[in-house]
Amino acid sequence: MAASIRGDVSKFKQTVSRMFEKASQIKLDEESSARVAELVDSEVMVLNASQLAQNQKRRADQFTISIHSSFRHWWDFVLTVSIAYVIVMTPIKVGFDVQSTGLGYALDAIVDVIYLIEMHLIACTYYYISLNQSVHTTWAPEIRTSDSLGQQYMDAFYFAIMVTTANDVNPTTPIEKLFTSVMLFVGIVINASIIGSAANLLANLDKEEIARKNQMDSINDYLRFKKVPLVLQNKIRRYYDYALTTRLQDPTESIFADLPDRLKLLLKLNLHSEFVRKVPLFRALSHAGVVAIIQCLVPIVAMPGEIIIVCGEIAREFYFIKTGQVSLCVPGLVDNIPLGNLGEGSFFGETSLLTGEPTTAEIKAERVCELMYLSKDDFETIVDKFPTFFLAVRRISESRMQTAQNIQRMAKMNRRPTQMFKFKKLSLRTVAQAAVLKARMGSRLETVTSKNTGTSSRSGGRAGSLIGGGKKLLSAGRRKSMAAFNVNFIERLSLAQARQLTHLRAMRDMQSNMEEDVFWD
């Protein structure tokens, strides 16, 4: 009996102890649950505060773009189209030398702007990834929130340039590697676009220079191949260099040859408007007269030291100076007497055209001159149709003749003793040469006459022609004895004489008075 009672008491004690242990365990569980609930509540509060702060920051910053925004979706579409445009058009432009004009030029400009904006977005993306990574970034440069906003943006933009130009940025995390790979592809397309645009721009800028260089190379190769003298080579190069640089050719006769008459006339007058303003003589003409002269003018270039008009020749052209400067001089007993210089807007050659007498002065180019000339027929027609123009030209011509006479008179007074002495020496030399030439021709004529005694009248005619030729040679006492042919005599010709020989294709085109002209002196 007692043993059973003790067993029941022990069981009761165990049951009570288990109950107390269970109660304590429940209490512990409740306490832990309470602590967990408190932690969850605190974390939720922190998350809510963080989310609220981010939302407030987004609302405060109007320039923040969400990656899920519609703008970002549209921007990705625009960038994709731009990349496709560059991938297709850049090889075509570079390979086939296609020039961008009009709409194509506008599209190129838009694509360039899009790529600049994309560089900004790449910088912002790098900034966002660097700040939101849980581990320390290994990218360089490192974004430091303690720096100013400007410094942070410069670091981010610098990284954008690095990652799009294949520089090593040392990506380590998966997101860094993915971002770097995508940006390398974008950078390849951007670089191709920039290089293609730059090459196209440089080609357009240097196109004219390249064409000029190619033409000059062809000219130099030909001159060297033909072994042309170096002095003449330099003169030819200098002319072509000036002509190609200034575009001397009239565009209305080549590039704009198919323009309507009104537009062609407007273009020509606009191209010569500055020249018309420089020439005071045009003020004596009506609008119709100015247009008539402009239409009849022929451009020509005179190189430095080149003789434009030779003293003693019959003038065939009336010159205007568009650019450059010429010098005038008259022959003296010893050397030439300078009369002065003429610059832009001046004219010359009018005196001989008005009087029909040989020119009394030599005109030479002091530097490269662009001249415009009227032919003798055009000058006479304009003088007949526009009396005011004739009066103005005649008045200026008379004034110039009076000035030249005064200068010559003063020069004679200043140099009379020396000039008289040298004049006598020159006269004696000329007389001696004439006597020798006369003796030679006389003996030659006597021989021919003795051989042809008693022959027919035809032979007599030949002798007569030979006698006439001898008289002609004797009349040219100042002319030098015949020597070997020398091409440098061309340097002493006027522009009109050189042009006449250049365009000579048949003997009937040669003027009848060439034998008596100063052409060959």
| For the chain, domain boundaries | 1-51, 70-209, 257-414
Given a cut of 80, whether residue 14 has pLDDT beyond it is no
**Mean pLDDT across 236-255:** 82
Measured in whole angstroms, the distance separating CA 255 from the mean position of its chain's CA atoms is: 17
The answer to whether 281 and 393 are in contact (CB under 8 A) is yes
How would residue 156 be classed by pLDDT, with cut points 50, 70 and 90?
confident
The answer to whether 478 and 432 are in contact (CB under 8 A) is no
Q: Compute the radius of gyration of the chain from its Cα atoms.
A: 49
Residue-wise pLDDT for 424-475, tens only, equals: 444 444 444 545 445 544 544 444 344 444 444 443 443 344 334 444 433 4
Pick 316 or 130 by higher pLDDT. Answer: 316
Helix (H) or strand (E) holding 375, with range, is strand 369-375
Q: Can you read off the two tokens belonging to residue 263?
A: 């537009």
Tell me which amino acid residue 489 is: F
* CATH number at 257-414: 2.60.120.10
Alpha-carbon span 18 to 23, nearest angstrom? 8
The answer to whether 127 and 143 are in contact (CB under 8 A) is yes
Alpha-carbon span 482 to 520, nearest angstrom? 11
User: What is the structure's pLDDT at 373?
Assistant: 94
Q: Can you read off the two tokens belonging to residue 427?
A: 């006269």
Average pLDDT for the chain: 73
Question: Residue 190 in 3-state DSSP?
Answer: helix
User: What is the structure's pLDDT at 320?
Assistant: 95
The CA-based diameter of the chain, rounded to the nearest angstrom, is 205
Alpha-carbon span 374 to 389, nearest angstrom? 14
User: What is the structure's pLDDT at 48?
Assistant: 64
User: What is the structure's pLDDT at 97?
Assistant: 62
The region, left, alpha or beta by phi > 0 then psi within -120 to 50, assigned to residue 343 is: beta
Tell me which amino acid residue 12 is: F
The answer to whether 317 and 374 are in contact (CB under 8 A) is yes
Alpha-carbon span 67 to 44, nearest angstrom? 25
Looking at residue 125, what DSSP letter applies? H
The answer to whether 112 and 193 are in contact (CB under 8 A) is yes
Q: How many CA atoms lie within 13 A of 145 on its CB side?
A: 4
Alpha-carbon span 431 to 367, nearest angstrom? 39
Q: Can you read off the two tokens belonging to residue 212?
A: 């000029």
User: What is the structure's pLDDT at 510?
Assistant: 53
User: What is the structure's pLDDT at 409?
Assistant: 80
Alpha-carbon span 190 to 183, nearest angstrom? 10
Kindly state the percentage of the chain with pLDDT values over 70: 65
91, 204, 218 from 110: Cα distances, Å: 18, 19, 41
Question: Residue 206 in 3-state DSSP?
Answer: helix
Lowest mean pLDDT among 51-65, 85-99, 137-151, 464-478: 464-478
Alpha-carbon span 325 to 319, nearest angstrom? 12
Question: Residue 143 in 3-state DSSP?
Answer: coil
Residue-wise pLDDT for 257-302, tens only, equals: 888 888 888 888 888 889 999 999 998 888 888 888 988 999 999 9
User: What is the structure's pLDDT at 94?
Assistant: 61
User: What is the structure's pLDDT at 214?
Assistant: 87
Alpha-carbon span 438 to 432, nearest angstrom? 10
Fold of 70-209: Helix Hairpins (1.10.287)
Q: How many CA atoms lie within 13 A of 153 on its CB side?
A: 6
**Mean pLDDT across 483-508:** 68
Q: Can you read off the two tokens belonging to residue 452?
A: 């042809």
How many other CB atoms sit within 10 Å of the CB of residue 349?
A: 26
Kindly state the percentage of the chain with pLDDT values over 90: 17
Pick 225 or 73 by higher pLDDT. Answer: 225
Alpha-carbon span 476 to 292, nearest angstrom? 43
**Mean pLDDT across 151-162:** 75
The answer to whether 390 and 381 are in contact (CB under 8 A) is no
Residue-wise pLDDT for 106-121, tens only, equals: 777 787 787 778 777 7
Residue appearing with tokens 């006269």: 427
Alpha-carbon span 75 to 164, nearest angstrom? 18
Pick 307 or 30 by higher pLDDT. Answer: 307
Looking at residue 274, what DSSP letter applies? H
* Per-residue b or e along 304-343, where b marks 16 or more CB atoms closer than 10 Å to that residue's CB: eebbbbbbbbbbbbbbbbbbbbbbbbbeebeeebebeebe
Measured in whole angstroms, the distance separating CA 338 from the mean position of its chain's CA atoms is: 38
Residue-wise pLDDT for 357-412, tens only, equals: 898 889 999 999 999 999 999 999 988 888 899 999 999 999 988 888 888 788 77
* Per-residue b or e along 453-478, where b marks 16 or more CB atoms closer than 10 Å to that residue's CB: eeeeeeeeeebeebeeebeebeeeee
User: What is the structure's pLDDT at 15?
Assistant: 76
Alpha-carbon span 258 to 343, nearest angstrom? 35
**Mean pLDDT across 151-167:** 73
Alpha-carbon span 85 to 132, nearest angstrom? 34
Q: How far apart are the first and last CA of the chain?
A: 174
Given a cut of 80, whether residue 68 has pLDDT beyond it is no
